[in-house]
Amino acid sequence: MMTIDVDILQKTLCDAMCGEVRVREKTPEILAVDTPFTFPDGDQYQLYIKVLPGGILRLTDMGHTLMHLSYEHDIDRFREGTRGMLFDKIKSETSVDEREGALCIDSSPDHLAIDIFRLGQAITSISDLGFLKRSRVDSTFYDDLRESLFRVVPAEKVKKDYLYEGMDNASDYPIDYWIEGREAPVFLFGIPNRDKAKTVTIILEHLLRANAAFESILVFSDQSSLPRADLARLTNVSDTMISSLDAESDFRRKLEKKAQLN
């Protein structure tokens, strides 16, 4: 069994970690903190220390994180729906405040080291929210679907959780969205996972047996993740499929062709 000298190990770790962090003067009131933390594109986290009255050291990103993310994402969406809940949870769990778009922690010399790591953790987690566009949890998918839909179709032409009363037990077969159509109503379904794919197959089969007049649009979180057999059954009963919400132009084009927008 290997024998480890804890004191030597701690000194080695401290020397290595301290060597990765540098503090330099940016202005008389602001110190820049260089760390090894980076965004996925390689840009370094921007961390600063503002010296405030009363011995307070305000550790802040000076708004850089949200500005960096805004290059590829709509930051307003980070404050809405499921993303907004996750955003607030991250700030709460890391004790990070937000002041006019800047992420910050009021610290002291004794707590500065741990607070640098806490702010770094918060920035990493907030940055990861951007990837929910491509790797959606189910609840976020439905938020995004709703937003995408209402960017194309006026709200007054849409009914959520619609029930087709022309068949028995209609409440067992809810339709995500009824949309006023050019020739027939459009029934739009969001499909974030395999279970929902099976459910939508059953709903569409019952609608067809009831001779309902409608056109269907199915929007997947990731169509390629579904087993072929499940996808084949859906294909047999559906009209139009959209492989992912990331296919925004495809979504708009197909919806505009079927929906009554005026």
Q: What is the CA radius of gyration of the chain?
A: 26
Pairing type for strands 158-162 and 175-179 reads: antiparallel
pLDDT at position 134: 47
Q: Where are the domains of the chain?
A: 6-133, 138-258
Q: How many C-beta neighbours within 10 Å does residue 156 have?
A: 7
Instruction: Identify the three-state secondary structure at position 52.
Output: strand
pLDDT at position 91: 94
Contacts of 166 (CB under 8 A, 6+ apart): 210, 211, 212
Whether 220 contacts 235, CB under 8 Å: no
Query: What is the spatial distance between Cα 74 and Cα 61, in angstroms, rounded to a whole number?
Result: 19
pLDDT at position 3: 63
Architecture of 138-258 per CATH? 3-Layer(aba) Sandwich (3.40)
Query: What is the spatial distance between Cα 165 and Cα 244, in angstroms, rounded to a whole number?
Result: 30
For the chain, the residue count is 262
Residue with structure tokens 């279970």? Answer: 195
Query: What is the spatial distance between Cα 159 and Cα 131, in angstroms, rounded to a whole number?
Result: 29
Residues of the chain with pLDDT under 70: 1-6, 9-10, 13-14, 16-17, 131-139
Q: What is the DSSP letter of 29?
A: T
**219-240 pLDDT, tens per residue?**
998 888 888 899 999 999 999 9
**207-221 pLDDT, tens per residue?**
999 999 999 999 998
Query: What is the spatial distance between Cα 167 and Cα 212, in angstroms, rounded to a whole number?
Result: 9
Contacts of 56 (CB under 8 A, 6+ apart): 106, 107, 108
Is the pTM here over 0.85, yes or no? no
Pairing type for strands 102-107 and 240-242 reads: unpaired
Q: How many C-beta neighbours within 10 Å does residue 154 have?
A: 13
